[in-house]
């Protein structure tokens, strides 16, 4: 076969059509790999990011709703903030606590025989509730002790009684005097 016949057999209509189809599919596959595949990958990635962002958006909306609710509570409680500051003071204010307890003890005929204060942390640390412990020993009647405790709990500064020991005073005869030992905690930030 000579060269001329060979070229004619190669460039027939059928061969040209097949060659064109093969070249077209080859170029089309290269186009898909380099142009469409990255676009599809980007599209699927963006769809996943959209779903993730919708979840984050929902979480942020919930947080904003919670903050709005808290702001509403703060607005409602704004007038009570000074009362809260009085209930839990910013500093130990030991002298004020002792004075408050002494005032109600005098009012209710609670004769304090001994009083002391435990260690007080005056160092500024992180904002957490601390307490001042006041230990008191005294003599009083049962009725006056009840009135003392009622007045103690009705004061603005938050106080708790951690320890209460009541015994009959052996030195008093029939006067109904009781020996009282109690530990009062006052709180501060």
> pLDDT tier at 74 (50, 70, 90 boundaries)?
confident
Write down the pLDDT at residue 120. 72
Per residue in 14-51, pLDDT (tens digit) is: 777 788 888 988 888 888 778 877 888 888 999 999 99
Write down the pLDDT at residue 55. 96
> pLDDT tier at 125 (50, 70, 90 boundaries)?
low
- Strand-pairing partners, residue 117, are 134
For helices 94-107 and 142-154, give the axis angle rounded to 10 degrees. Answer: 140
Query: In this structure, what token pair is assigned to residue 63?
Result: 């947080």
Write down the pLDDT at residue 175. 67
Write down the pLDDT at residue 65. 95
Write down the pLDDT at residue 9. 72
pTM for the predicted model, two decimal places: 0.54
Write down the pLDDT at residue 169. 66
43-57, 69-83, 141-155: lowest mean pLDDT where?
A: 69-83
Task: Say whether domain 88-188 belongs to CATH 3.90.850.10.
Answer: no
Per residue in 97-120, pLDDT (tens digit) is: 888 889 999 999 999 999 898 877
Query: In this structure, what token pair is assigned to residue 80?
Result: 């009570």
What is the side-by-side strand order in the sheet with 111-117? 111-117, 130-140, 178-188, 159-168
With CA atoms as reference, report the closest residue to 156 among 107, 95, 112, 96: 96
């Amino acid at each position: 076969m000579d060269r001329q016949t060979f070229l004619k057999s190669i460039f027939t209509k059928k061969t040209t059509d097949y060659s064109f189809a093969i070249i077209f599919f080859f170029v089309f596959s290269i186009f898909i790999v380099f142009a469409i595949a990255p676009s599809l990958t980007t599209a699927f990635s963006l769809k996943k990011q959209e779903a993730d962002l919708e979840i984050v958006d929902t979480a942020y909306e919930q947080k904003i709703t919670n903050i709005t609710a808290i702001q509403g509570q703060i607005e409602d409680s704004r007038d009570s903030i000074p009362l809260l500051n009085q209930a839990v003071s910013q500093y130990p204010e030991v002298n004020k606590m002792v004075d408050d307890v002494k005032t109600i003890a005098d009012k209710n005929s609670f004769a304090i025989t001994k009083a002391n204060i435990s260690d007080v942390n005056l160092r500024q640390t992180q904002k957490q509730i601390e307490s001042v412990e006041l230990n008191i020993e005294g003599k009083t009647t049962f009725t006056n002790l009840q009135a003392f405790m009622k007045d103690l709990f009705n004061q603005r500064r938050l106080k708790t009684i951690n320890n209460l020991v009541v015994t009959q005073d052996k030195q008093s005869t029939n006067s109904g005097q009781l020996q009282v030992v109690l530990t009062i905690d006052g709180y501060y930030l």
